[in-house]
């Protein structure tokens, strides 16, 4: 049975998963969840994803949520097809550890701060709420310091986990692109190594296909 | 060469790694990085850990940071000794990753903010904690733990019926929250059973008062 992706077209976590379905050329059926109508809070949805968040997948009866868990599952399940090396060889304990380090960094040192910036400057404006300038500036200056560290790392190696592109790099796209919407794109653009790295990620076909939103199922590749 | 853990005895992330070292029966040397003196921002430190945070490990020349990454590494490298902490099967492993991600996104941000506001910020600044803010964060955490309670009514641990790193990862902040009288865990029967069992593990008992080396 074709994998089912229950997702919202523009949700950052949904885009994270959709991109990897493209990278690994996994056929999928897209079932659009309307967040504005709170379809993610309906009983039927909560039975599968009890936190009421998007996305989740139904892989022939196997239910999985949390976007980074899903992308790892896809990369491990389909090692031979699509883009290679998105996770290291599981037997290479050190390479895997460096991948984990980069992934954990993305969560703790990038998304946690980018999320605040995007929330304050983009989301709040959309729903007519006032930006908390202090929270915004705090997050901005903290993220700036973190990206100084990224600049050093990417001066020594092309990707965050080493020589190969991994899920850890791609995971930055959903919130990284939204920083530009928040008027904070200079955080990336002002750092040559970070900028070069991010630009290359943005130009991947898998991202270009979904950057304006997930629109369709893909039964064939 | 014996593994060296660089950290701060009371740092939650340092405790997370130390607990895993105990579970996996891996001897280690502990080197204190004095956060109060700002040693984590010194150039020598930043060469190893560019984000200026604790902990990191030096495993015979292999440097690794991010506590959850270090815990994964130890669980994989020493899979055959101590407690099994990450499943091997593809689907079981995916459910483990799901649980680990739940901890990172649905628990850690609120729990860590609450602990910072209630304990660490007053210690650092002398300004008393904002009680209303703390209660609000506890209410938020409570909503997530309601869902944990549902999950834990059907299975023993977050990823299934075996303990994994995902469960253990909750302990450092759970301990601090209980120290300041938060009842969010006790108020939910399955969550209470789960967290108390985890807290009783010898590996947690060994580090809850502060981390020290075993080698």
Residues B68 and B105 in one domain: no
Residues B56 and B146 in one domain: no
Q: Which residue of A has its CA nearest to B77?
A: A93
Count Cβ neighbours within 10 Å for each residue of B46-68 and write b for 16 or more, e otherwise: eeebbbebbbbbbbeeeebbbbb
Residue B163: CATH number of its domain: 1.20.1050.10
Using the predicted structure, report yes or no on whether residue B25 has a pLDDT greater than 90.
yes
Instruction: Please answer whether residues A149 and B50 qualify as being in contact, where contact means their C-beta atoms are separated by less than 8 angstroms.
Output: yes
> Given B84, B109, B131, which residue is the final one in a domain?
B84
| Chain A partners within 8 Å of B94 (Cβ) | 62, 64, 69-70, 72-73, 76
Mean pLDDT of the region A88-102: 96
Radius of gyration of chain A (CA): 18
Q: How many CB atoms lie within 10 A of CB A127?
A: 6
Residues B57 and B153 in one domain: no
Instruction: Give the count of domains, chain B.
Output: 2
With CB atoms and an 8 Å threshold, state whether B109 touches A103.
no
Per the domain annotation, does B80 fall within a domain? Answer: yes
Residues B196 and B145 in one domain: yes
Average pLDDT of chain B is 96
Average pLDDT of chain A is 97
Instruction: Please answer whether residues A24 and A74 qualify as being in contact, where contact means their C-beta atoms are separated by less than 8 angstroms.
Output: yes
> B104 and chain A: CB distance < 8 Å anywhere?
yes
Residues B165 and B109 in one domain: yes
Residues B62 and B108 in one domain: no
> Given B37, B63, B84, which residue is the final one in a domain?
B84
Give the strand pairing for B56-59 and B3-7.
antiparallel
Instruction: Please answer whether residues B69 and B20 qualify as being in contact, where contact means their C-beta atoms are separated by less than 8 angstroms.
Output: no
Q: Which residue of A has its CA nearest to B79?
A: A93
With CB atoms and an 8 Å threshold, state whether A73 touches B94.
yes
User: For A100-136, what is each residue's pLDDT tens digit?
Assistant: 999 999 999 999 999 999 999 999 998 899 999 999 9
Strand order in the sheet with B56-59: B28-32, B3-7, B56-59, B62-65
Instruction: Please answer whether residues B125 and B186 qualify as being in contact, where contact means their C-beta atoms are separated by less than 8 angstroms.
Output: no
Residues B42 and B127 in one domain: no
What CA–CA distances, in Å, run from B92 to A127, A188, B6, B95? 40, 37, 32, 5
Domains of chain A and CATH, by start: 3-84 (3.40.30.10), 93-205 (1.20.1050.10)
CA dist B49 and B144 (Å) reads 32
Interface test with A, best of B55, B89, B98, B100 (most A CBs within 10 A): B98
Residue B124: the pLDDT is 85
| Chain B partners within 8 Å of A94 (Cβ) | 62, 73
With CB atoms and an 8 Å threshold, state whether A69 touches B144.
no
Q: B32: burial class by Cβ within 10 Å (0-12, 13-18, 19+)?
A: middle
Residues B78 and B94 in one domain: no
Q: Chain A interface residues facing chain B, Cβ-Cβ under 8 Å?
A: 50-51, 62, 64-70, 72-73, 76-77, 90, 93-94, 96-98, 100-101, 103-105, 107-109, 112, 146, 149, 152-153
Which residues, numbered 73 to 92 in chain B, qualify as contacts with chain A under a Cβ-Cβ cut-off of 8 Å? Answer: 73, 76-77, 90-91
User: For B120-170, what is each residue's pLDDT tens digit?
Assistant: 999 888 999 999 999 999 999 999 999 999 999 999 999 999 999 999 999
- Domain span at B152: 90-201
- pLDDT exceeding 90 applies to what percent of chain A? 97
Residues 6 or more apart in contact with residue B191 via CB below 8 angstroms: B145, B148, B149, B152, B184, B185
Residues B47 and B131 in one domain: no
CA dist B53 and B38 (Å) reads 10
Instruction: Please answer whether residues B114 and B84 qualify as being in contact, where contact means their C-beta atoms are separated by less than 8 angstroms.
Output: no
- pLDDT exceeding 90 applies to what percent of chain B? 94
3-state class (DSSP) for residue A7: strand
3-state class (DSSP) for residue A202: helix
Give the confidence band of B36 by pLDDT, cuts at 50, 70, 90: confident
Mean pLDDT of the region A166-179: 98
Give the confidence band of B82 by pLDDT, cuts at 50, 70, 90: very high
Residues B67 and B129 in one domain: no
Of A32, A36, A38, A37, whose CA–CA distance to A8 is shortest?
A32
Q: Which ranges of A92-183 does DSSP label H, i.e. alpha helix? A: 93-105, 112-118, 124-126, 133-156, 167-170, 173-181
Per the domain annotation, does B138 fall within a domain? Answer: yes
Per the domain annotation, does B54 fall within a domain? Answer: yes
Give the confidence band of A33 by pLDDT, cuts at 50, 70, 90: very high
Using the predicted structure, report yes or no on whether residue B24 has a pLDDT greater than 90.
yes
> In Å, how far is B85's CA from the nearest CA of chain A?
15
With CB atoms and an 8 Å threshold, state whether B150 touches A68.
no
Mean pLDDT of the region B66-77: 97
> In Å, how far is A13's CA from the nearest CA of chain B?
12
What CA–CA distances, in Å, run from B126 to A73, B116, B121, B134? 46, 13, 8, 17
Per the domain annotation, does B137 fall within a domain? Answer: yes
pTM above 0.90, yes or no: yes
Radius of gyration of chain B (CA): 17
Mean pLDDT of the region A213-217: 94
Per the domain annotation, does B147 fall within a domain? Answer: yes
Nearest CB neighbour to A72, from listed B65, B97, B150 = B97
Residue B24: CATH number of its domain: 3.40.30.10
Nearest CB neighbour to A66, from listed B93, B98, B144 = B98
CA within 13 Å, CB half, A83? 21
Per the domain annotation, does B141 fall within a domain? Answer: yes
Per the domain annotation, does B206 fall within a domain? Answer: no
SS3 letters across B6-68: EECCCCHHHHHHHHHHHHCCCCEEEEECCCCCCHHHCHHHHHHCCCCCCCEEEECCEEEECHH
> Which residues on neighbouring strands pair with residue A58, listed in sequence order?
A4, A63
Give the confidence band of A156 by pLDDT, cuts at 50, 70, 90: very high
Residue A132: the pLDDT is 95
Residues B192 and B162 in one domain: yes
Q: B161: burial class by Cβ within 10 Å (0-12, 13-18, 19+)?
A: exposed
User: For A188-213, what is each residue's pLDDT tens digit?
Assistant: 999 999 999 999 999 999 999 999 99
Interface test with A, best of B47, B48, B51 (most A CBs within 10 A): B51
> Given B84, B110, B129, which residue is the final one in a domain?
B84
CA dist B9 and B15 (Å) reads 7
Interface test with A, best of B105, B108, B145, B173 (most A CBs within 10 A): B105
DSSP-assigned states of every residue in B107-160: IHHHHHHHHIIIIIHHHHH-PPP-HHHHHHHHHHHHHHHHHHHHHHHHSSBTTB
Residues B100 and B174 in one domain: yes
């Amino acid at each position: 049975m074709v994998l089912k992706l229950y997702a919202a077209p523009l949700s950052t976590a949904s885009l994270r998963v959709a991109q990897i379905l493209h990278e690994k050329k996994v056929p999928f059926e897209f079932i659009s969840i309307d967040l504005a109508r709170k379809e993610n809070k309906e009983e039927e949805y909560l039975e599968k994803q009890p936190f009421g968040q998007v996305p989740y997948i139904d892989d022939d009866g196997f239910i999985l949520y949390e976007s980074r868990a899903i992308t790892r599952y896809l990369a491990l399940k389909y090692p031979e097809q699509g883009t290679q090396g998105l996770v290291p060889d599981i037997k290479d304990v050190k390479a895997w550890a460096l991948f984990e380090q980069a992934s954990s960094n993305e969560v703790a040192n990038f998304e946690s701060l980018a999320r605040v910036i995007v929330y304050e400057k983009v989301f709040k404006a959309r729903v007519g709420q006032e930006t908390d300038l202090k929270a915004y500036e705090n997050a901005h200056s903290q993220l700036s310091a973190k990206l100084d560290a990224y600049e050093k790392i990417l001066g020594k190696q092309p990707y965050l986990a080493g020589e190969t592109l991994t899920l850890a790099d791609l995971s930055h796209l959903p919130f990284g692109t939204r920083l530009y919407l928040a008027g904070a794109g200079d955080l990336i653009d002002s750092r040559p190594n970070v900028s070069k790295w991010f630009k290359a990620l943005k130009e991947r076909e898998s991202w270009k296909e979904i950057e304006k939103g997930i629109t369709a199922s893909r039964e064939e590749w | 060469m014996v593994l060296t853990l660089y950290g701060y005895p009371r740092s939650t992330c340092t405790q997370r790694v130390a607990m895993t070292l105990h579970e996996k029966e891996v001897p280690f040397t502990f080197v204190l990085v004095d956060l109060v003196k700002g040693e984590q921002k010194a150039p020598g430190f930043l060469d190893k850990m560019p984000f200026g945070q604790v902990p990191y490990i030096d495993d015979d020349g292999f440097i690794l940071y991010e506590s959850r990454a270090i815990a994964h590494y130890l669980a994989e490298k020493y899979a055959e000794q101590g407690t099994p902490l990450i499943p091997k099967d593809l689907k079981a492993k995916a459910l483990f990753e799901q649980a680990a991600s739940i901890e990172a996104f649905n628990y850690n941000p609120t729990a860590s903010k609450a602990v910072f506001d209630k304990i660490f910020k007053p210690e650092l600044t002398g300004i008393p904690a904002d009680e209303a803010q703390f209660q609000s964060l506890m209410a938020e955490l409570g909503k997530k733990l309601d869902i944990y309670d549902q999950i834990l009514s059907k299975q023993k641990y977050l990823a299934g019926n075996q303990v994994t790193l995902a469960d253990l990862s909750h302990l450092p902040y759970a301990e601090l929250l209980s120290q300041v009288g938060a009842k969010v865990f006790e108020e939910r029967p399955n969550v209470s059973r789960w967290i108390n069992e985890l807290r009783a593990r010898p590996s947690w008992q060994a580090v809850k008062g502060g981390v020290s080396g075993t080698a």
